[in-house]
Amino acid sequence: MAGIGGVCRSNTAQFICAFSEGIGWNYALVAEALAARRALLMARQFQMKHVMLESDNLLIVNLLKGQTRDVPWRITTIISDCRSLFSYFDVILFEHVLREANSVADSLATKAPESQHSMCWLSIPPPFISPLLFADASGTLFPR
C-alpha cells in the first residue's frame, strides 16, 4: 500500500498544516505527483499567494518547472492539474531536495496507509512529526 504526505510551513519554518492520505497500490512516481497536486490544492484552499513546493523527486520538480516536456503517461493528468493551479499564486517556486531533507513528508506518507481516511492537521502538528519538524527547522538531516 502507498501513501502521500506533505507539510506546509511558513517562511520561518512554523507549522501551518499537514496532510496524509492512503492511495492504495500505486507507482512511486504517481504518489509523488499526487502529493504535489494535493499540496498545491491545500495552498489554494488556504489562499496562500507565495508558495515553494519541495520534492525529493527530481522528475516531478522538473516537470512542474517546465524543464522537462515529456510527461510520463501515468501522470499526465496529474501534472496538467498541477499546472492549472499555478494561476492562483503570485509566486510559485519548485525546489528539489534530498530525501534526507524531506523526512517530515516522508513520515506522513509512511503513516498514510495505516488509515482508511485522508488526514489533515491545522495549526497543531500530529505528535509523530513534532520531533522531525524541530530537527528540520534546526537543519538536522537524517541519513538514509
Convert the pLDDT of each residue in 10-27 to its tens digit.
988 899 999 999 998 889
Query: From CA 142, how far away is CA 144, in angstroms rounded?
Result: 7
> What pTM was estimated for this model as a whole?
0.90
- Domains along the chain with CATH numbers: 2-136 (3.30.420.10)
Query: From CA 126, how far away is CA 4, in angstroms rounded?
Result: 15
Query: From CA 30, how far away is CA 121, in angstroms rounded?
Result: 23
**Backbone CA torsion sign across 95, 96, 101, 103:** positive
CB half-sphere exposure, 65, CA atoms < 13 A: 16
**DSSP three-state, residue 143:** coil
Convert the pLDDT of each residue in 45-75 to its tens digit.
999 999 999 999 999 999 999 998 899 999 9
